[in-house]
Amino acid sequence: MKPPPFTYHAPRDLREALDLLAEVDGKVLAGGQSLIPLLNMRLAAPAHVVDVNRLPGLSTIEARPEGVTVGALARQAEVARAGAHPLLGQALRLVAHPVIRNRGTVVGSLVHADPAAELPAVLAVLGGSVRLARRATGGSPDAAVREVAADAFFAGPLESAAEPGELAVSAFFPALPPRSGSAFEEVARRHGDYALAGVCAVVTLDEDLHVAAARVACVGVGPVPVVADVTGVCGRRPAATVPWEAVTEAVRQAVEPEDDIHASAAYRLHLVGVLAERALKEAAARAATPP
């Protein structure tokens, strides 16, 4: 398989890259683990490809008390090894295979916005954001930058809020609050395949170890990651007394899976309830265990 013809660009700095993106109708190449297959299968035919791998300063992984900022060129394997955020690490272990994670980027996966991918769900359940840059107007040497929250970033299947001319330069994953735990559970036909359904969960306990907050994000059961806040259903109880059947039913009511060649909607609906219970119980157990 060969891609359709395109003009290749390899800018050396951010300003050059943003100038190119402002002037041509093109696709950004970072890790290429989604773009290259799309090109080879002729599912995408951009006139220009802008390779940003030579841009300095975009491979950073910056951990601060408020959260982790991941640069656009930080590889998934590098982020996993950094261990800067527990939920990111739990999700990245489920992403594809090592050879994919060695090249694929965290930010690239977010911009690709596949509703069956793990990383968009992580950003969504944490309430993170993506930073987008474009060429400034009026000849200013500085880029025009905007921050887009996760709940506004994912617009539909393979559709994000990144507009023509914009480059996603980083993503921010908020830190877990004190006495919090997280977990990611999914079912795939084979390890490394896209999940038939998946759930990531974050549970926070109060000083008495009662559930103070509980959120899940589901993958593979909607056009975007589906986030459900189930704190009210948990009822500020100790995790051992939470009515999990009611909680999982609330999660099922939040999703709208569809039939496809891999699984029926009914099977996915069943799966998401089972996985939500597993993920929430595991996250609660981790929250109750001192670090």
Give mean pLDDT, residues 185-203.
94
**Strand 48-51 and strand 26-29: pairing?**
parallel
- Position 5 scores a pLDDT of 93
- Position 206 scores a pLDDT of 95
CB 207 within 8 A of CB 222: no
Residue 141 reports pLDDT greater than 80:
no
- Position 47 scores a pLDDT of 95
Give mean pLDDT, residues 221-238.
94
Q: Compute CA distances 66 → 119, 126, 199, 275, whole Å.
A: 19, 12, 24, 28
Residue 192 reports pLDDT greater than 90:
no
Q: Which 3 state secondary structure label does DSSP give 72?
A: coil
- Position 139 scores a pLDDT of 65
What average pLDDT does the chain have?
Answer: 95
Q: Which of 5-14, 52-61, 113-122, 188-197 has the lowest mean pLDDT?
A: 188-197
Could you read off the pLDDT of 23-35 as tens digits, one per residue?
998 999 999 999 9
Angle between helices 244-254 and 265-288 (to 10 degrees): 130
